[in-house]
Amino acid sequence: MRFSKSQEGQYRPLVKRAWAAHCDRKGIHPNSRLSYDNWYRGILLDICRVYTTREANGADDYDKLMLAFAEIVGDDRLIAYWVKAPERRFKWMIGTELKKLGIIPGSPAALAYLDGIMRHMHLDQLRFDDLPVEHLKKIFIALDKQEHRHRHDRQLGVTA
């Protein structure tokens, strides 16, 4: 899978910054194509087990690579941003599922709906905003299943 144009617009400049930072630390000439290729391919292989970004699995690999390059650059703001990328993505996906169910994300109805799911999953000791990605993924799957049931019922003309 290729990264989107928007992703490439963030990815390439960060890779360039990371390469410059790496060269400064290691005393490598930044125009050394062989050194760059070995460094870059090594990171792709270490982080994602791929040789090119075309082999990447999309959002997950993109997030991992962006975090790795932010760490090389040493940009604390970017590191903090990319560490939370999976949680942000699942929260966005949960919001999309809520919309499909006719629930406005962030509304009291959405919060009550999510609280109910969290209670059912025994996650009610945590706040939704504090959930780690593993729990957000489970909530997304539950919402996705619910949305499929609602869509199936609508196709059959069943009303609640």
pTM: 0.76
Together in a domain, 97 and 144: yes
Q: How high is the mean pLDDT of the chain?
A: 92
Residue 114 CB neighbour total at 10 angstroms: 20
110 is written with which tokens?
């959405």
- When divided into structural domains, the chain yields a total of 2
Q: pLDDT (tens digit, 9 = 90+) per residue, 36-50? A: 999 999 999 999 999
Residue 160's pLDDT band, with cuts at 50, 70 and 90, is low
Q: Kindly state the average pLDDT of the residues 133-148.
A: 92
Residue 158's pLDDT band, with cuts at 50, 70 and 90, is low
**The last residue of a domain, from among 83, 117, 141:** 83
Per-residue 3-state assignment (H helix, E strand, C coil) for 70-136:
HHHHCCHHHHHHHHCHHHHHHHHHHHHHHHHCCCCCCCHHHHHHHHHHHHHCCCCCCCHHHCCHHHH
**The last residue of a domain, from among 52, 83, 114:** 83
Give the SS3 label for residue 160: coil
Together in a domain, 71 and 90: no
Q: pLDDT (tens digit, 9 = 90+) per residue, 62-108? A: 999 999 999 999 999 999 999 999 999 999 999 999 999 899 999 99
Range ranked top by mean pLDDT from 54-58, 59-63, 79-83, 123-127: 79-83
Q: pLDDT (tens digit, 9 = 90+) per residue, 111-122? A: 999 999 999 999
The DSSP call for residue 30 is T
Query: Which residues span the domain enclosing 15?
Result: 5-83
Together in a domain, 9 and 50: yes
